Amino acid sequence: MEFFLQQFAAGLTSGAIYACVALGLVMIYVSTDHINFAQGEMAMFATYLAWAMIDAGLPYWVAFGLTVLVAFAGGFAIQRVILKPLERAPVLALVVSFIALLSIFNAVAGMIWSYTIKQFPSPFPSRDLFGNGLVSVQQLGVVGVTLVMLGLLTAFFRFTTLGLAMRAAAQNADSARLMGVRVSWMLALGWGLAAAIGAIAGMLVAPIVFLDPNMMTGILVYGFAGALVGGIGNPMGAVAGGFIVGVLENLVGSYVIGNELKLTFALIIVIGVLLLKPAGLFGRVIVKRV
């Protein structure tokens, strides 16, 4: 039983990581209607920036704040400079561009910071909470930050005009334009926010998995799975989905299929959800109008 609980707790921690990443994916999806394959690598890159600042002597929270700002500006710039010309391009062109960004960020990070792992400081102590190895303060911190981000995002989308405008821009650009929404800027704003969320996710993840240029590759796959399970258009669902995938992955890995097929398990989740419940467990089904 203790083993089960421990696996469950470990699953929650990885779940929180996936949830963070999933939140960034949802952010881009909600505000631009795209699935960003470079989300993980952008987060990784931002985390390296934070590491460089801390390494240069800045206090943790200053570096944290600066990184979030820089990431926001970076995401914004990526949309304005790189993706703007492709706004009306077919999906394939976008997918190709995301893959291109993924390659570039990964390769450049490796070039600058090398592939040796780096230690990333955590604002939370890794002290045990109850003294039985079940939950550490750090694990709790990650979960907490994820939930706070979720709360802020939900509030932003639900209660602010800007949030509404962003959703409108993504879902029906033409009508939104007629209503006076500056669609193109909304998209850039969405990218900025997603990059900022990604940066926070990266900085939460790095103390646990250690910082290296390939840190996010595996996480991204599970993040996708989480976002899909919860419904990719729904922040709340994505976070729940992230946790579900994290816990399931650990339990299924420990009890059922063994550790060798975990990625296959992620693949099955992705395809299974897309097939059986394309809108996710918590998503609304969108009827396509003809």
Partner 1 sequence: MTRLTRRTVLSGAATLLAAPAIAGGKYSPGASDTEIKIGQTMPYSGNASAYGANGRAHAAYFRMINEQGGINGRKINFISLDDGYSPPKTVELARQLVERDQVLFLFAPLGTQCNTAIQKYMNQKKVPQLFVATGASKWGDPAHFPWTMGWQPDYRTEGMIYAKHIKQTVKNPKIAILRQNDDMGNDYVGGFREQIAAFKDTIGADAIVIEATYEVTDPTVDSQILQLKNSGANVFYNVTTPKFAAQAIKKAAEIGWKPAQYLVNVSASVGAVLRPAGLENAQGIITAQYIKDVTDPHWADAADFKEWKAWMDKYNSTANPSESANVTGYAVAFTVAQVLKRCGDDLTRENVMRQAASMHDLEVPMLLPGIKLNTSATDFYPIESVRLSHVEGEHWTLFGDLVSRDAA
Partner 2 sequence: MTTSWAMKRGVGVTSILFWIVLALLPLIGFVSESSSFDYYMFMGQSMLIYAIAVLGLNLLIGFNGQISLGHSAFFALGAYTAAILMNFGGWPYWATLPIAAVVCFAAGLLFGFPALKLEGHYLALATFTLAIAVPQLLKYKAIAGWTGGVGGVLLDKPDPPEWTRLSPDQWLYYVCLAAAILLFWVVFNLLRSRNGRALMAVRDHSMAASTMGIDLARYKTIAFGISAGITGVAGGLSAITVAYVAPDSFTLQLSISFLVGLVVGGIASLPGCLVGGVFIVLVQNSAQSISDWMKATFALRYDVPAWAIYGVLLLLLMYFLPAGIAGGFAQARTWWTMRGRRGRQQ
Residue 7 touches which of partner 2, partner 1, none (CB < 5 to 8 A by kind)? Answer: partner 1
d(CA 42, CA 22): 13
CB-based burial label for 177 (10 Å; 0-12, 13-18, 19+): middle
89, 99, 107, 286: which one binds partner 1 (CB under 8 A) = 107
Residue 278 touches which of partner 1, partner 2, none (CB < 5 to 8 A by kind)? Answer: partner 2
253, 268, 277, 281: which one binds partner 1 (CB under 8 A) = 253
Smallest distance from the beta carbon of 210 to partner 1, in angstroms? 5
d(CA 235, CA 282): 10
Residue 104 touches which of partner 2, partner 1, none (CB < 5 to 8 A by kind)? Answer: partner 2
The count of other CB atoms within 10 Å of the CB of residue 82 is 14
85, 121, 123, 133: which one binds partner 1 (CB under 8 A) = 133
Residue 6 as a binder of partner 1 (CB under 8 A): the answer is: yes
Residue 66 touches which of partner 1, partner 2, none (CB < 5 to 8 A by kind)? Answer: none
CA 88, 183, 98 angle in degrees (round to 5)?
50
Per-residue CA distances from 288 to 29, 87, 276, 281, 285 (Å): 17, 22, 17, 19, 9
Looking at the Cβ atoms of 53 and 221, the one nearer to partner 1 is 221
Q: Give alpha helix (H) positions in 33-136.
A: 39-55, 60-77, 91-113
Smallest distance from the beta carbon of 119 to partner 2, in angstroms? 23
Looking at the Cβ atoms of 135 and 193, the one nearer to partner 1 is 135
Residue 3 touches which of partner 1, partner 2, none (CB < 5 to 8 A by kind)? Answer: partner 1
Q: Are 194 and 24 in contact (CB under 8 A)?
A: yes
52, 66, 118, 281: which one binds partner 1 (CB under 8 A) = 118
Residue 37 touches which of partner 1, partner 2, none (CB < 5 to 8 A by kind)? Answer: partner 2
Per residue in 247-269, is it b (16+ CB within 10 Å) or e — as a string? bbbbebbbeeeeeeebeebbeeb
Read off φ and ψ for residue 179, nearest 5 degrees. -80, 0
In the chain, what is the greatest distance between 2 CA atoms, to the nearest angstrom?
59
Q: Which residues bind partner 1 (CB under 8 A)?
A: 3, 6-7, 10-11, 13-14, 17, 107, 110, 114-119, 126, 128, 133, 136, 205, 208-210, 212, 214, 217-219, 221-222, 249-250, 253-254, 258-260, 262-263
